[in-house]
Amino acid sequence: MISDIQFHDKGDGRSLSDTVYAELKEAILRGDIVSDERLMEIPLANKLGVSRTPVREAIRRLEKEQLVVITPGCGARVAGISDKEAMDALEVRLMIENMSVRLAARNITGEQLARLREINSKARAAAADNDTGLIADFDNLLHRTISEASGNSILFTVARFLEGQVLRYRIEYIKSLPEYDSLLDEHDAIIDAIGLGNGELAGRLVEEHIRKQKKAMAEIIRII
């Protein structure tokens, strides 16, 4: 709910508009603002302690990313999670991730490999605390680091664009897991294959990893 979100100015030099956009986007992706919830400029501006202008700008940007739907006469609301959108996003992700791990197995540096192991270790610590939001953050960071390690700048750009489309589904998937060890074990296996330079094995593992998520998401969306 909108009443649950908080404004955090991190003092990182971002404009007020960028900060409000980032806060609203994170709230939507984490589920703090739920599907079909209305985004009314005045209550949001009051909640965040800003004027209506940065809120309006943020909503417009989120509409372009298909996270918000604006209907004339009805205002803005958070876009729902549809079966087709989720499956489409995961199908594209499957192809992107498969290419990423295969190229990463060929091009990854020792520093990047150590970074992957560190990220998954931090994800295990978050799992011990049952912090699903933080697990999702590290999960996202791990896959982003793999795409960066591919050495293909176009692939990395496409993967970054896809993050916003996939993160909502990824968080719902992680929330649905009875335990997190299997997810993190799958990550370790993918990292090991990349470290060995075995792109074919890494590709098979990441494909199985994502197909498992796709199957689970199909069930979750039916419940939602």
**Which range marks the domain in which residue 38 is found?**
2-78
Tell whether the model's pLDDT for residue 172 goes beyond 90.
no
| 133/146 same-domain check | yes
| 104/203 same-domain check | yes
Number of structural domains the chain divides into: 2
CA triple 53-59-87, angle to 5 deg: 170
| 93/197 same-domain check | yes
Tell whether the model's pLDDT for residue 4 goes beyond 70.
no
| 94/205 same-domain check | yes
Where a domain ends, among 14, 45, 78?
A: 78
Measured distance CA(176)–CA(180) in Å, rounded: 10
Higher pLDDT, 173 or 59: 59
Using 50, 70 and 90 to split pLDDT, how confident is the model at 11?
very low
Tell me the per-residue pLDDT of 13-39, one tens digit each, with 9 for 90 and over. 568 888 999 889 888 877 788 888 999
Measured distance CA(96)–CA(107) in Å, rounded: 16
Using 50, 70 and 90 to split pLDDT, how confident is the model at 102?
very high
Measured distance CA(155)–CA(101) in Å, rounded: 11
| 108/197 same-domain check | yes
| 66/175 same-domain check | no
Helix 16-30 × helix 41-48 angle, to 10°: 100
CATH code at position 29: 1.10.10.10
Tell me the per-residue pLDDT of 70-89, one tens digit each, with 9 for 90 and over. 998 889 999 877 677 778 88
| 118/67 same-domain check | no
Where a domain ends, among 29, 60, 78?
A: 78
| 159/208 same-domain check | yes
Task: Name, in order, each residue with C-beta under 8 angstroms of 86's C-beta and a sequence gap of 6 or more.
Answer: 169, 217, 218, 221
Amino acid present at 17: S
CATH code at position 159: 1.20.120.530
Task: Name, in order, each residue with C-beta under 8 angstroms of 183's C-beta and a sequence gap of 6 or more.
Answer: 135, 139, 174, 177
* The model's pTM: 0.76
Beta bridge partners of residue 39, listed in sequence order: 76
Using 50, 70 and 90 to split pLDDT, how confident is the model at 6?
low
Tell me the per-residue pLDDT of 42-56, one tens digit each, with 9 for 90 and over. 999 998 889 999 999
